[in-house]
Amino acid sequence: MSNANSNSTDVIIIGGGFAGVTAGRELSNLGLESIILEGRDRLAGRTWTKESDIGIPLEMGGTWVHWAMPYVWSEVKRYDLPLYITPFAEEAYWKTRNGLSTGTPDDLADVLDNGMNQLLSRSLEAFPTPHDPFPLTDLAHELDPKTIEEAINELDVSTEEKDVLNGIWALHFNCDAERGGFTTALRWGALANQDWKYLAEITERYKFVNGTQELLNAIQNDSKSQVKLNSPVTSIDEQEDQVVVTTRDGQRYSAKQVIVTVPINALKNLEFNGPFDPNALSIAQAGQASNGLKVWMRVQGQHKPFHCLGTSQDTLHWIQYENDLDGDSVLVAFAPDASRLDGNNVAEVQKALHEYRPDLEVLAVDSHDWVNDEFAQQTWTMFRPCQLTGDATTLLTKHTRTWLAGADYAHGWTSFIDGAIESGMRTARRISRTL
């Protein structure tokens, strides 16, 4: 055991999001010391419960949890944290090449149903044990070159159906559907027992009353891990008997092992010197698929809960009602391409909203552009075609004294808080068996 105030420890954890703090707590419970080096001036990574510009705290990143997400659910209940629901929509609006349609959410679900069932019908064949995807099945290998857009276009469904399918998957991928790999959709499908309505329920219904921050703080409060904020790491040097980590301000830290929780697209911030250089992999150079935006808005007046679905071509391709705020309405929306919208510009957001609801007046907006955030450079990780069977397998399974953990490297719910907790816990435990 090293001195608590020295720069030497058992395990260095780069990044203090859910994976990092979970790993730190797990190591603490095992009697191991760790130091979390966090580049930002706050913990929590791509979750961020922020005092927002629209008058209430908002989730700028990861938000929803569910009991079908086993790792985060166990933590929600460990700390007895209250949840509440995104209300069920009463009206639906969907844009296709036929123009704007309106109806009930069930009407929209009916347009989606046939295609979604077809798309996900082989999910469990491709990923029979979806929390343990490796080694990948032959079917996963066979389907990995396909984009989700190609998989949709091959279906024997109408053009309207293809357009809404494009929109819903562009939403899930947080990018144009032409960028997303079909196998990533199948992994989600397998985790939701091939039921697309259950998938929707799992991924966007239950939220934290007091923010995702409350869970992160609860985990960190149970940890003895030391946190160093404002400490961006520049290099990781693996030596025969230790790892040396250097921060931007020239501080050097040493440990027996290091956990890197940096998102895939931001790995290039780091220089890896040693037997494993993730940046030598094409996936680190090309980046994963997501490059969209999450936008919050406050609109004038009270409105019935509703949702809007567009396609990859729309500025905003998903908008949903979240709650009443002093007689106004709070909406959350997603854009498939962060470069096409300034999420902090009221006029731009209002113009995009008016494609569906010209009757609504936007009073205030808030958004964080994760794609242009140096420590993220992306939103949630979704693989492009050929990545899962290619370099992603290496990223998700290889380690030396350098271990990758985080939602990006999860084996189950990749890209969710659940996956971050899973990989943080798994990695800390595996490291403990080597020490």
Residues forming the site for a second copy (CB under 8 A): 26, 29-30, 67-71, 73-74, 77-80, 130-131, 193, 195, 198, 222, 412, 422, 425-426, 429-430
Cβ proximity to a second copy, 134 vs 300, nearer residue: 134
Task: Give Cα separations from 109 to 70, 113, 127 (angstroms).
Answer: 27, 6, 25
Cβ proximity to a second copy, 67 vs 275, nearer residue: 67
CB of 70 to a second copy, least distance (A): 4
Cβ proximity to a second copy, 254 vs 257, nearer residue: 257
What is the DSSP code string of 258-270? EEE---GGGGGGS
Task: Give Cα separations from 386 to 21, 136, 276 (angstroms).
Answer: 31, 12, 21
Q: Collect all residues with Cβ–Cβ distance below 8 Å to 159 and sequence separation of at least 6.
A: 96, 97, 98
Token duo for residue 340:
């096409």
194 in Cβ contact with 121 (< 8 Å) = yes
**Closest C-alpha among 63, 64, 312, 285 to residue 180:** 312
Binding site, annotated residues for FAD: 233
CB of 298 to a second copy, least distance (A): 28
What's the CA gap between 336 and 433, in Å, rounded?
A: 42
Binding site, annotated residues: 233, 334
**DSSP type of residue 270:** S
**Separation of CA 414 from chain center:** 7
Token duo for residue 217:
């703080």
Cβ proximity to a second copy, 91 vs 418, nearer residue: 418
AA identity, residue 297: M
CB of 198 to a second copy, least distance (A): 5
Cα Dmax for the chain: 67
Q: Please report the sign of the dihedral spanned by the C-alpha atoms of residue 119, residue 122, residue 124, residue 130.
A: negative
Beta-carbon neighbour count of residue 105 at 10 Å? 15
6 in Cβ contact with 16 (< 8 Å) = no
**Separation of CA 429 from chain center:** 23
CB of 255 to a second copy, least distance (A): 22
Q: Using CA atoms in the order 198, 201, 203, 208, what is the torsion angle rounded to 10 degrees?
A: -150
Cα radius of gyration (the chain): 21
CB of 125 to a second copy, least distance (A): 13
Strands 271-273, 233-238: pairing kind: parallel
AA identity, residue 343: G
| H or E element that contains 309 | strand 306-309
Cβ proximity to a second copy, 221 vs 251, nearer residue: 221
Cβ proximity to a second copy, 150 vs 214, nearer residue: 214
Cβ proximity to a second copy, 205 vs 303, nearer residue: 205
Cβ proximity to a second copy, 113 vs 195, nearer residue: 195
CB of 71 to a second copy, least distance (A): 5
Cβ proximity to a second copy, 65 vs 177, nearer residue: 65
CB of 212 to a second copy, least distance (A): 18
The CA-CA-CA angle for residues 18, 21, 27, to 5°, reads 135
Looking up tokens 């069920």 gives 88
What's the CA gap between 251 and 233, in Å, rounded?
A: 9
Binding site, annotated residues for substrate: 334
CB of 131 to a second copy, least distance (A): 5
CB of 365 to a second copy, least distance (A): 32
The counts of H helices and E strands in the chain are: 14, 19
Cβ proximity to a second copy, 352 vs 421, nearer residue: 421
CB of 317 to a second copy, least distance (A): 27
